[in-house]
Amino acid sequence: MATMNMKQLQVKLGLVESVKLTRKAEELQRLSRVHFNSSVFGVGEVCKAVLCFELACIALQIAFDRSRAIRCSGLSEKAYIRASTAMQNAMNLRKKLDVRELAVQFGCVRLIKMTQDVLALYQSRFVAALPEARRASADFNRPIFTAVAFFLCAKKNKLKVDKLKLIELCGSSDTEFNNVCASMMDLCFDTLGTQKVKKEVKTPKGLLDALPSKRKSPSDDSESDGDDEMDKENIDVVPGLKRSKKSVKDAEYEEWKSALMTAREAVKRSVRATGEPLKPKTPGWQASICKYVNVASQ
pLDDT at 154 over 90: yes
CB 77 within 8 A of CB 160: no
**pLDDT tens column, 47-106:** 888 999 988 888 888 888 888 888 888 888 888 888 888 888 788 776 677 899 889 989
CA dist 180 → 8, 11, 185 (Å): 41, 41, 8
Average pLDDT on 160-175 reads 82
Q: What is the pLDDT of residue 37?
A: 79
Residue 113's pLDDT band (boundaries 50, 70, 90)?
very high
CB 202 within 8 A of CB 182: yes
Q: When comparing pLDDT for 295 and 32, which is higher?
A: 32
Cβ neighbours of 73 (radius 10 Å) = 24
pLDDT at 233 over 50: no
Q: What is the pLDDT of residue 297?
A: 41
Q: What is the pLDDT of residue 235?
A: 41
CA dist 57 → 6, 86, 171 (Å): 14, 17, 20
Average pLDDT on 5-15 reads 85
